[in-house]
Chains A and B, each alone.
Chain A
Amino acid sequence: MANILEAKKVTKRFGGLVAVNAVDFNIPEKSIVSIIGPNGAGKTTFFNCITGFGRPDEGEIIFEGNPIQRLRPDQITRLGISRTYQNIRLFADMTALENILVGEHSFLHSSWISSVLGLPGVIHEEKTALAEAQRLLDFIGLRGKGDMLARNLPYGAQRRLEIARALATRPKLLLLDEPSAGMNPRESEDLTGFIHRLRDELGITILLIEHHMRVVMGISEAVTVLDYGEKIAEGTPAEIQSNPRVIEAYLGRGAATEGMATAHERFTGIKKSN
């Protein structure tokens, strides 16, 4: 399977701090992959490099065969990459529908002049856009709530709305930054199902940053681990769970020697039946 995204030796510095250090990273088409790592490992910075918020100081990022590391964020979005944010960044004072409509921006072509004049082309285009927004609203389970202000939606609904908004940009690759933060186990399960639908029904490749190990291990086909900006491990969930370097990164040097089973338990939250 071809890779939809290839990152080669991506490096990003902030003054003296190297946030991302020569990271190589490939995402196969239509897969669901995750990046994990302790806090401050550089995961969000890496996301930012992909989406154009901060050019990498070194390295290349190739999307569908085209280098994108020098492009502006809006250009990258139009090529087919979209994201959600760690702390939800919805347009709080706009309605749910309006949030999604903003996502459709690049697919609408009416100029402001024709909008002012109320030309038939514009009216038709706006109707279509609204229908599409309603459809997306439906898809995330918020049918009928389109006129609510984003700030008044409950937390779970806000997270889903952010995803809907990202979907409106018709991405081929969707980056989700800690989508299950603040969710209880049942909500996380729903989220996992939802992510699967995104890939299975809409053919979108998914890249996740996650801390919820259950979600990560349950959903990912491949997991990459970053620590202090470097890639320290890559592989299937099972491989990562038993990798001592990974455990050490999360729980400290002592943990690796403490006993793999106990560390494993703590790490994954899964008690080995024995």
Chain B
Amino acid sequence: MKKENFIWNAVKMGLLGGAIAIFICLVGMTEIFSKRDVIEKVITLGQFVLLTTIMAMGFIASRRTSDLFGENRPVMNLTAGLVAGLVTGLILALFVFIGLHVNLRTVFLNASPPLYKLLTFGKGEGNIWPLPLIGAGGGMVGAAFLLLPAIYRGPLTRALLFSFFMALFSGLFRVVMINQKGGIAKAAKYLFGQTGLTWAGTFIFFFTVLIIAFLWNFRGKEIQAGISRLPKRGQLSLRILVFLIILYIAIGLPTVSGPFIAQVIVTVALFILMGLGLNITLGFAGLLDLGFVAFYAIGAYTVGLLTSYGPFGLQHISFWVAVPIAVLVAMMFGAILGLPVLGVRGDYLAIATLGFGEIVRLLAGSDFLAKYFGGPQGIIGIQKPCIGTLAPFVKVDVPRVCNGIELGTVQTIYYVAIASALLIAFVAWRLRESRLGRAWMAIREDEDVAEALGINLIQTKLLAYMLGAAFAGLGGAIFATLIGSIFATSMQLIVSINVVALIVVGGMGSIPGVIVGAIALIGLPELLREVSEFRYLIYGLVLIIMMLARPEGLWPSSAAKRELHHADAENVTAESMV
């Protein structure tokens, strides 16, 4: 009986794979991803994605087979993989066949001739037979992967992932490195092709990481043990050294890499600022504030109103004075928006704050309040920061002259952004280790018990809103200055959700988690144009997958980490406990 079961299982996997593959095509990923190569002139990103789907299905089919039989049976596993892959390929082929005869384009925009061309390798209708074959082969490879001993699998996966990342960013690396002196530029050309990795590059990256990962498997524990045996001073020095290296790179980066990467890092830094702010409200205190973007906007508008040389600027003061004021105003609004919702719980809080956020946005962009906030056109002409003194105001619409260093370009704003992010990360860390931080965590865990232990809920929750708002306001202030203008459309709900997403993906309540989340969800799409097309689609998917697989995040807070550590300690001392 098990024999038929496992084939049927494999067929089911194949059907699923086929559905996913068709989805990828219909949604437009295949076409757009085909514009970028993974390995230059060998395989495109689009093909790679489909191939990965096939191999993944093969792997899963193989695994289910092993589950059914209780052990690995190589022949069965490979057959399962083959069947799964074959079915996927067949479905895809069927799709092409139908598409070439029936005009699906009236409904599905992407079911178009270019797509079929891609899927048939440019040769049109007669050539749909490669698909099932590739499916079968890919499925077997995926299945075979399961059969490898575990010590090989880890390093292999890491090597593949690393090479893949290098491939995705090859364009960027190439652009940055090619402008450097001789040796680096040559290396760039050797490793990175115009649109993907060269063969040489692929080999080098893949095998380097493979060997390193392999060695780590054998020696890694020793190295780690060696490090933890170092005296505390030694460990601290090591960490400081790593930190300094990163700092050195960070400081030198904009001059080396040019404005585009600096811009991306600034955006990431600003989302880190906002993420740290929401991390306090949501990650520490457990209050889901979906109107968070309103505080970002308030910070931005305040700075705009205070420093713009356009007609809406109320005062025309320096950036360095305006920013603290913006932060204070944001804090005040944090209290104002937080006060009414103090007694509201859980899901309702999310919706109530969402409502608030939208009200602020609609009012800011309305014609009704246009004479204060610029209506739909917003506020433009925000003065850049100036280290020095600003010449007195001459006339409207003309920036004031800066007697000193003007931080006018992206590269210079970059330093302000990074410095702010570091500062705020420090503040957030101190807050978490403080009495207030504990009170927040108690509220998040069990609000009623926290209150019964003497914590004043009103004060503590208000502080959570206010401090969260302050951080967001700072982010808004800096960003407004960077862009030079602020519109109501920049305070859409989607920004709040972006911030929630990056905290969740990185790890709620965890400060390194916010950084990881920001890099993953903000930095990566900015750097990869093709991914950016499907940014929110992938967002949504990532959110669901994270919640299903790893709700504590990519870099969870130390509480979750300690849980893993003490699992070992617990086994040792179990008898000593009553």
Give A residues with C-beta under 8 Å from B.
51-53, 72-74, 77-78, 82-83, 85, 89, 91-95, 98, 101-103, 105-106, 108, 110, 112, 115-118, 122, 126, 129, 141, 145, 147-149, 151-154, 156-157, 165, 168-169
Contact = CB atoms under 8 A, between A and B. Distances in A.
Nearest to A118: B430
B438 A105 contact: yes
6 contacts: A77-B454, A93-B563, A94-B442, A110-B434, A129-B435, A145-B577
A118 B569 CA distance: 32
Contacts of B467: 112
Given A93-B559, A148-B570, A157-B578, A108 B435 contact: yes
B442 A91 contact: yes
A74 B456 CA distance: 6
- Identify which of B438, B450, B452 gathers the most chain A CB atoms within 10 Å of its CB: B452
Nearest to A117: B430
A115 B559 contact: no
Contacts of B448: 53, 73
A9 B343 CA distance: 30
A112 B559 contact: no
A120 B431 CA distance: 16
B566 A152 contact: yes
- Identify which of B427, B434, B435, B436 gathers the most chain A CB atoms within 10 Å of its CB: B435
When A and B form their complex, which 9 residue pairs have the shortest distance between CB atoms, in order from nearest?
A: A115-B434, A106-B454, A91-B445, A77-B454, A112-B436, A116-B430, A73-B451, A102-B442, A73-B452
A141 B578 CA distance: 10
Given A108-B435, A116-B434, A102 B566 contact: no
A75 B297 CA distance: 37
B455 interface: yes
B457 interface: yes
Contacts of B71: none
B438 A98 contact: yes
Interface in B440-476: 441-442, 445-446, 448-457, 463, 467
A74 B434 contact: no
B449 A93 contact: no
A148 B445 CA distance: 17
A54 to B, nearest CB: 11
B502 interface: no
Given A89-B449, A93-B445, A149-B559, A105 B566 contact: no
B562 interface: yes
A91 B446 contact: yes
B431 A95 contact: no
B203 to A, nearest CB: 46
A92 B562 CA distance: 13
B570 A77 contact: no
Nearest to A141: B578
A74 B455 contact: yes
B456 A122 contact: no
B439 A77 contact: no
Interface residues on B, range: 35 or more
A78 to B, nearest CB: 5
A193 B442 CA distance: 30
A110 B455 contact: no
Nearest to A102: B442
Interface in B555-578: 559-560, 562-563, 566-567, 569-570, 577-578
A73 B566 CA distance: 34
Q: Is the interface of B mostly helix, strand, loop or mixed?
A: helix
Contacts of B452: 51-53, 73-74, 77, 82-83
A169 B434 contact: no
A93 B517 CA distance: 22
B453 A103 contact: yes
- Identify which of A105, A149, A152 gathers the most chain B CB atoms within 10 Å of its CB: A105
B449 A78 contact: no
B431 A116 contact: yes
A189 B57 CA distance: 59
Contacts of B434: 110, 112, 115-116, 122
A138 B577 CA distance: 14
B422 to A, nearest CB: 14
B566 A149 contact: yes
A112 B433 CA distance: 10
B562 A95 contact: yes
Contact of A89 (B433, B446, B560, B566): B446
Nearest to B437: A115
Contacts of A78: 454
B578 A105 contact: no
Nearest to A162: B449
Contacts of B445: 91-94
Contacts of A52: 452
A92 to B, nearest CB: 7
A153 B439 CA distance: 22
Nearest to A53: B448
B577 A154 contact: yes
Nearest to B578: A156
A85 B435 contact: no
A264 to B, nearest CB: 33
Contacts of A106: 453-455
Nearest to A115: B434
Nearest to B574: A154
B170 to A, nearest CB: 42
Contacts of A165: 453
A217 B315 CA distance: 76
Contacts of A151: 563
A105 B436 CA distance: 9
A110 B431 CA distance: 12
Given A116-B427, A116-B431, A102 B578 contact: no
A154 B577 CA distance: 8
